[in-house]
Structure 1
């Protein structure tokens, strides 16, 4: 049986495929760009390790990493089918069973459809439904195994503006811009953005409550955590999906060009820059 030590063991990448500070379009907030559906899901060199952690969390800490509110079931099933249709190379399908590149077989009907989808890909998967009275999208279902200092229990059922508490720079103006982005996303025309976060602890599973947020290091820490976030609209239900692919690596693993770009365009965080 796998010990909970797996939650703190680092899973470090060899490189960062893209860095948000390397282009003007991705440096400025919110920094969204179009991405083809064929590039929505990514399988990287740490697929097996990240999936083993995901499987452990879903088996041993299900209530902490999975939520689905009433009314989101159809969207969850639609998302599962969309994930299956866009899996990267390396998967083998036999009927309703898909064998992952690491050899683990996933029965698409053996568990909740959102869990089935999340057990196939490295991305955390969030479903957001539009609430007409509030005029915002609400987080209605998610598998969140790799939180960057937030907790699913606090955010489920809340609108985008509340989900981003206590993120700095996410003021009323930014909240309206992000909501407009969600409203404008068309089927088969997803958008992506990427962030750069600074962590002393390289663990992937790092929940934190709003009351006790993560303390930002005074100096640049040892590790860079970067999320590739994709926003897409499901074609049948029209529900929004927010997927998160996470890389963690020491700053020493950045390419020379990325190091040079970071020096030229420091990434700002909590009033400081590095």
Structure 2
């Protein structure tokens, strides 16, 4: 099933120098769009069918995952604690013993938990249903610089800047950025090994534009950094119409 959005709340084609970070707001942290029902159905199916590929959690990151679940409930479903009713009417029971699994049933965002170990932040947990050409198993329990090794433009200078950025993230003050990736296939679940990078497609040739709205947020209690990813996939032809409405 092809799952597409018909609009995107920012212009993904405006170039920004890496790392492209800008300040955000807590009330704009989580997005719910016109692909909600279809994306949620896909997320639940992936968790059931490919659990080991989309979910990883170090035992030491369990408190951070539980804190993240509580924060998502606070902003996406205020006033709910034991169960929530999603848009569309589906009821989800809140299981705090399985925080990442529960998050997968609540919102469209994927979440990565990064915790400071020594001088670097390490990926200690994630629910990652919609990877854009990377594998969670290859990045789990690895530091930030290793996570970005396949990205050619992510050199040591940028790595140091990003690590300083991570050190400076404050609770209640999210930061966000976006990318724009061109794909032949609209499939949301696109894991790929770093040893077999995908062939990049040029704008105007590939039929789909995939954009990740990525947000960085520090959890106040555990001090873990949460990297959330909201994935938009639009037809390139539709995107051009958005750019040139005439």
Query: How does the TM-score come out when normalised to structure 1?
Result: 0.84
Question: Residues 95-151 of structure 1: CA distance to partner in whole angstroms, max 9, x if unpaired?
Answer: 50111113222111275112212321100011000011xx11000000000000000
5+ unaligned residues in a row in structure 2: which ranges?
none
Task: Describe the shift of the 1:215–1:255 C-alpha distance in structure 2 as closer, same or farther (beyond 3 A).
Answer: closer
Question: Residues 25-83 of structure 1: CA distance to partner in whole angstroms, max 9, x if unpaired?
Answer: x6121111111111100000000000000000111211110000120000000000000
Q: May I ask how many residue pairs the two structures share in their alignment?
A: 244
Question: Residues 217-243 of structure 1: CA distance to partner in whole angstroms, max 9, x if unpaired?
Answer: 367311100000000000101110000
- The equivalent residue for 1:6 is none
2:229 aligned with 1:240: no
2:161 aligned with 1:161: no
Task: Describe the shift of the 1:95–1:164 C-alpha distance in structure 2 as closer, same or farther (beyond 3 A).
Answer: closer
- The equivalent residue for 1:104 is 90
2:29 aligned with 1:43: no
2:112 to 126, 145, 152: 126
- The equivalent residue for 2:7 is 15
2:42 aligned with 1:56: no
4+ aligned runs moved over 2 Å, structure 1: 91-95, 217-220, 255-260
CA contact (8 A) 2:66 2:96 kept: no
- The equivalent residue for 1:224 is 209
Pick which of 116-125 and 78-87 moved more. 116-125
5+ unaligned residues in a row in structure 1: which ranges?
1-8, 261-274
SS of the aligned residue for 1:21 comes to coil
- The equivalent residue for 1:117 is 103
- The equivalent residue for 1:209 is 193
Question: Residues 172-202 of structure 1: CA distance to partner in whole angstroms, max 9, x if unpaired?
Answer: 0111111111111111001000100011111
Query: How does the TM-score come out when normalised to structure 2?
Result: 0.94
2:73 to 44, 62, 84: 84
SS of the aligned residue for 1:84 comes to helix
CA contact (8 A) 2:73 2:80 kept: no
